[in-house]
Amino acid sequence: MHQNAAIIVFWLYATIEVAASTCLANMTQIDVDHMECIKSYINREAALYEKEIDEHRRKKASICFASTIEQSEKEKRCFLPVAERDSDAVDKDRRKNRRDYKRFIRDALKAIRGAPDAMRTCLHDHMSAAIVDETNRCIHSKNPNADPMPSFPDIRNASAAYNEAMQFEEIFDYIHIQSHVDLCRINNAAFAEATEACVRNPFKGFMSIQCKAIQHCDKKVIPQECLEQFNRTREQKCSCIRETRRDLKLRISSLPNAIQKVTIDSAKSKQSGLRRMDECVSTINSHLDSNGSNWVGSVNNALDTCVMGSPKNHVFGLNSLFMKLCRKLMPRRMLKLDGQYGIVFIANFIDAFNERATRFCEPLECFETRKL
């Protein structure tokens, strides 16, 4: 009896070990198939998917932000007037200190909204590749033997022309909403933290089609014996994605300190204005590309490849934007609101592309058995 029990236990253990080994060997292909499944599912539901996102982002702004100062103080949430809850409302912003960055947002909106589909697709693909590279850097730093992460699913329906336009409307609404959260953080970190938590998971059923796609593909693509291993792998990748995005935003938000140091040092050495600007731009580049990353190079490569060759190009490279920022901040010893807004905008301009590309990690309520 004991011998039979021992044989059964050994057989079960051996079966589990073989299954785990097989799953590990096939995990890269399973990952690729899973992402392709998500792409296929969402493209079949493209019209409903984009309509839901459009409705949910407006509902999210309504739920997560206070519409009056009084409500903000009472409910401990960031303030965002109803009239400014859409990216188009940026043009109506009357705050004098933000004119330059309002103009940049307006130019960027016009340029990308009016760009050919091929150019927009090119920008999306380059930015997606950049975050895959940065995420793999994070994964391999924690597990040198880990398989590289495959490309993100290209969740677009090329046959629906309106679909591209809606996606980019959403990207700029993301910039607009997230920039308000970040500006709110400058004055009240607790309010911003509460608002950001709400923005990530605002109501039950948030992004339900995305959630259904993930759950459908979990069942369809992943063998039952591989599900636990797949979940661990997904958690590691999603954790690295969030870490990569958070690290970049933190580095951008700490730019004022780096710029002010250049200002003080160059004033002591009595450098010429042009030399000071060059040093300021160089400082921003090295600050953003620290720890072995190549964000500035990736973004500039995307702009050079996808946009700069266009005869009607109105978008400029990051170094031009950095020069504008240096001109704004270097004459001052203290960072003013307009400079803060510019820095916040740069951070969220880059992060918006990453957010769209990495959405297979969201919404959080899809992952009931673990906190990603």
Which domain, by its residues, includes 187? 2-366
Distances (CA, A) of 190 to 102, 181, 194, 217, 335: 27, 11, 6, 37, 21
172 within some domain: yes
Report residue 79: phi and psi, to 5°: -95, 130
Q: Label residue 140 by pLDDT band (50, 70, 90).
A: confident
pLDDT (0 to 100) of residue 288: 77
Is pLDDT above 80 for 191?
Answer: yes
pTM over 0.75: no
What are the tokens at 41? 């599912």
Q: Is residue 77 part of a domain?
A: yes
Position 78 scores a pLDDT of: 94
More confident residue, 219 or 314: 219
Q: What is the pLDDT of residues 9-49, one digit of tens each?
A: 433 433 334 444 567 667 788 888 888 898 889 888 888 88
Q: What is the 3-state secondary structure (H, E, C) of 21-79?
A: HHHHHHHHHHHHHHHHHHHHHHHHCHHHHHHHHHHHHHHHHHHHCECCHHHHHHHCCCE
Q: Torsion angle, CA of 345/347/349/353, rounded to 10 degrees?
A: -160
- Please check whether residue 310 lies inside any domain of the structure: yes
Work out how many domains the chain is built from and give that number: 1
In this prediction, residue 110 carries a pLDDT of: 62
Structural domain contains residue 372:
no
Q: What percent of the chain has pLDDT over 70?
A: 64
pLDDT of residue 17: 40
Q: Evaluate whether residue 153 is within a structural domain.
A: yes
* pLDDT digit string, tens, across residues 239-279: 888 888 888 777 777 777 777 777 777 666 666 667 778 88
pLDDT at 73 (0 to 100): 92
- Asked if residue 336 is part of any domain, the answer here is yes
Residue 316 lies in a domain: yes
Mean pLDDT, the chain, rounded, equals 73
* pLDDT of amino acid 26: 76
Mean pLDDT is highest, among 92-96, 321-325, 337-341, for 321-325
- Burial string for 295-313 (b: 16+ CB within 10 Å, else e) reads bbebbbebbeebbeeeeee
Would residue 294 count as lying in a domain?
yes
pLDDT cut 90: percent of the chain above it: 8
